[in-house]
Structure 1
Amino acid sequence: EHAGAKPRRLSGGQAQRVALARALATRPRLLLLDEPLAALDARTRLEVRAQLRRHLAEFEAVAVLVTHDPLDAMVLADRLVVVEHGRIVQEGSPADIARRPRTDYIAQLVGLNLYRGEAAGHTVRLDAGPSITTTEELSGPAFVAFSPSAVTLFRDRPTGASARNLWRCEVAGLETHGDQIRADLTGELPLAADLTTVAAADL
Structure 2
Amino acid sequence: MFYWGYSLRSPLNIGIRHVLPTFPFIYLLISREVVLWVRGKFNPSPANWREWLVSLYRMYLAPIPRFLVLAALFIWLILETLLSYPHFISYYNELADGSAYGYRIAVDSNYDWGQDLKRLVKYADENQIPKVSLDFFGGGSPRYYLGDRFEPWWSAQGPASGYFAISATFLQGAMGRTAPGFIRNPEDAYEWLSSYQPIGRAGYSIFIYKLP
Give the TM-score of the pair, scaled to structure 2. 0.26
More strand by share: 1
Give the TM-score of the pair, scaled to structure 1. 0.26
Higher RCO (CA 8 Å, separation ≥ 6 residues): 2
